[in-house]
């Protein structure tokens, strides 16, 4: 754990039930020609488009069907330049937010978009600030509303990689738990477990710090106590608020303390197979944590991070005497209770493990993992999740 740290987030975060109603006025202060990006269902954003048009804005709605790829982001950026859009708003899940964030960045930075990408490109810095960007999440999972990167699929490389810059932090994040009420249980489960993963991995990351620790220690119990309840009762306001806070805090934590092997493996899996990111993270989480604990006890038994795994037991179970094995048992149980598919459900087999792990070892997420892993150790974790 480090005592010196930097913390960066959206310029303004607005949280609370009903806070979405402030969006039209906020956007009006940022531009006059907004581009609204949402998921595959345009009805989700129609109220916002109407409200903006009533204020005299020249508004355009753009829908992303599934997870965004580099071509969609480039096309959206070209549209923004041609139509003179001066502000971008995302209302949707992580895919819509990532797509909009990338569009806002590429609209003001020309050339081949690949030049700005990590892993598959040189990761050149953005030369110009992105268009003002407002994020409004409708799922409680990715935390993308407060992060500085956008994850894009590059089909030619069969990889999902990040477009990343400190300049890409949203101008405003509006987190309204009411926008998540009524989400189907399967989506609530996968996005909620993604949020939990994005609290747990930063908590045990080698880059953890006092500020992200505080967020994780508050967020993990909220997700733990409310995830089952939100799945069973989709309109439960208290459970939805807990998950929205957990997701927001997870976004802050991952952006400032990094992630680990769960996300290191989830990125190549998402590029190689039609597998939803949240569900992949959920399937991997117990097995990666178990493998990490085993590796720490074998290689660095005296490491202070070992005690973090015991603390996870207490945070997840709310039992003051819980230890690491109870954290793992709790995660095994919730993944089973919420019917999270195993990785094999997406067509992943033993023959794919080597390629997944080779790509994962190159992932930026692996830099935060609490212990250095061999390819063999990583392969064992992925195999256990098949």
Check whether 2 has a pLDDT greater than 90: no
- What pLDDT digit, counting tens, does each position of 307-327 carry? 999 999 999 999 999 999 999
Query: φ and ψ at 163, to 5 degrees?
Result: -95, 120
- 212 and 165 in one domain? no
Residue 207: domain span: 184-384
Do the domain assignments include residue 3? no
Do the domain assignments include residue 290? yes
Cα 348 to Cα 258: distance, rounded to the nearest angstrom: 26
- Assigned token pair, 207: 């880059």
Nearest to 203 by CA among 156, 250, 145, 245: 250
Average pLDDT score over the chain: 95
- 55 and 124 in one domain? yes
Single residue among 138, 163, 179 that ends a domain in this structure: 179
- 314 and 200 in one domain? yes
Do the domain assignments include residue 298? yes
In degrees, rounded to 5, the angle at the alpha carbon of residue 196 between the alpha carbons of residues 191 and 202 is 125
Do the domain assignments include residue 2? no
Single residue among 162, 179, 196 that ends a domain in this structure: 179
pLDDT at site 9:
93
- 222 and 156 in one domain? no
Instruction: Please answer whether residues 67 and 271 qualify as being in contact, where contact means their C-beta atoms are separated by less than 8 angstroms.
Output: no
Do the domain assignments include residue 5? no
Do the domain assignments include residue 53? yes
- 338 and 189 in one domain? yes
Name 92's bridge partners: 137
Check whether 193 has a pLDDT greater than 90: yes
- 173 and 199 in one domain? no
Nearest to 44 by CA among 57, 61, 30, 60: 61
Average pLDDT of the residues in 210-228: 97
N-terminal to C-terminal alpha carbon distance within the chain: 32
Average pLDDT of the residues in 214-233: 98
- 150 and 95 in one domain? yes
pLDDT at site 172:
98
Torsion of CA 325, 330, 335, 339, to 10 degrees: 130
Average pLDDT of the residues in 283-305: 94
- Diameter of the chain measured on Cα atoms: 64
Do the domain assignments include residue 81? yes
Cα 18 to Cα 165: distance, rounded to the nearest angstrom: 31
- 144 and 118 in one domain? yes
pLDDT at site 74:
97
The domain that holds 193 is classified in CATH as: 1.20.1090.10
pLDDT at site 303:
87
The answer to whether the pTM exceeds 0.75 is yes
Average pLDDT of the residues in 16-32: 96
Do the domain assignments include residue 301? yes
User: 366 Cβ partners below 8 Å, 6+ apart?
Assistant: 260, 261, 264, 360, 373
DSSP string, 161-200: EEEE-GGGS-SEEEE-GGGGTT--HHHHHHHHHHHHHHHH
pLDDT at site 6:
86
pLDDT at site 132:
98
Instruction: Report the domain count for the chain.
Output: 2
- What pLDDT digit, counting tens, does each position of 359-372 carry? 999 998 999 999 99
Q: How confident is the model at residue 1 (pLDDT cuts 50, 70, 90)?
A: low
- 172 and 217 in one domain? no
- 137 and 22 in one domain? yes
Instruction: Please answer whether residues 105 and 130 qualify as being in contact, where contact means their C-beta atoms are separated by less than 8 angstroms.
Output: yes
Check whether 119 has a pLDDT greater than 90: no
Cα 141 to Cα 131: distance, rounded to the nearest angstrom: 25
Q: What is the 8-class DSSP label of residue 365?
A: G
Q: How confident is the model at residue 257 (pLDDT cuts 50, 70, 90)?
A: very high
pLDDT at site 120:
87
Average pLDDT of the residues in 279-304: 94
Instruction: Please answer whether residues 297 and 307 qualify as being in contact, where contact means their C-beta atoms are separated by less than 8 angstroms.
Output: no
Single residue among 150, 179, 208 that ends a domain in this structure: 179
- 194 and 168 in one domain? no
- 289 and 205 in one domain? yes
Cα 231 to Cα 32: distance, rounded to the nearest angstrom: 39
Instruction: Please answer whether residues 217 and 260 qualify as being in contact, where contact means their C-beta atoms are separated by less than 8 angstroms.
Output: no
- What pLDDT digit, counting tens, does each position of 55-93 carry? 999 999 999 998 899 999 999 999 999 999 999 999 999
The domain that holds 173 is classified in CATH as: 3.40.50.1970
- Assigned token pair, 143: 């935390």
The CA radius of gyration of the chain, in Å to the nearest whole number, is: 20
């Amino acid at each position: 754990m480090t005592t010196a740290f930097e913390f960066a987030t959206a310029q303004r975060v607005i949280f609370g039930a009903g806070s979405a109603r402030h969006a039209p006025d906020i956007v009006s202060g940022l531009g006059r020609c907004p581009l609204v990006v949402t998921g595959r269902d345009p009805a989700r954003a129609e109220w916002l488009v109407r409200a903006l048009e009533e204020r005299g804005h020249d508004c355009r709605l753009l829908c992303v069907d599934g997870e965004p790829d580099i071509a969609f982001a480039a096309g959206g950026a070209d549209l923004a330049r041609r139509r003179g859009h001066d502000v971008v708003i995302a209302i949707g899940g992580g895919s819509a937010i990532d797509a909009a964030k990338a569009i806002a960045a590429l609209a003001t930075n020309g050339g081949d978009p690949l030049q700005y990408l990590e892993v598959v490109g040189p990761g050149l810095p953005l030369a110009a600030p992105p268009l003002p960007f407002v994020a409004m999440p409708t799922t409680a999972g990715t935390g993308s509303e407060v992060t500085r990167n956008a994850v894009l699929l590059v089909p030619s490389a069969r990889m999902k990689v990040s477009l990343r810059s400190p300049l890409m932090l949203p101008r405003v994040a509006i987190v309204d738990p009411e926008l998540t009420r009524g989400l189907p249980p399967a989506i609530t489960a996968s996005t909620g477990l993604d949020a939990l993963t994005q609290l747990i991995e930063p908590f045990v990351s080698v880059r953890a710090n006092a500020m992200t620790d505080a967020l994780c220690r508050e967020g993990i119990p909220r997700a733990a106590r409310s995830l089952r309840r939100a799945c069973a009762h989709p309109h439960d306001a208290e459970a939805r608020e807990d998950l929205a806070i957990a997701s927001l805090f997870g976004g802050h934590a991952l952006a400032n303390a990094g992630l680990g092997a769960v996300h290191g493996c989830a990125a190549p899996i998402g590029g190689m197979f039609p597998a939803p990111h949240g569900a992949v993270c959920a399937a991997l989480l117990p097995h990666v944590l178990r493998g990490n604990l085993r590796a720490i006890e074998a290689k660095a038994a005296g490491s202070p991070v070992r005690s973090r795994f015991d603390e996870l037991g207490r945070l997840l179970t709310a039992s003051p005497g819980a230890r690491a094995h109870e954290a793992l048992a709790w995660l095994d149980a919730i993944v089973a209770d919420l019917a999270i598919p195993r990785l094999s459900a997406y067509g992943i087999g033993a023959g794919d493990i080597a390629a997944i792990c080779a790509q994962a070892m190159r992932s930026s997420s692996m830099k935060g993992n609490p212990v250095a892993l061999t390819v063999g150790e990583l392969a064992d974790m992925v195999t256990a999740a098949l």
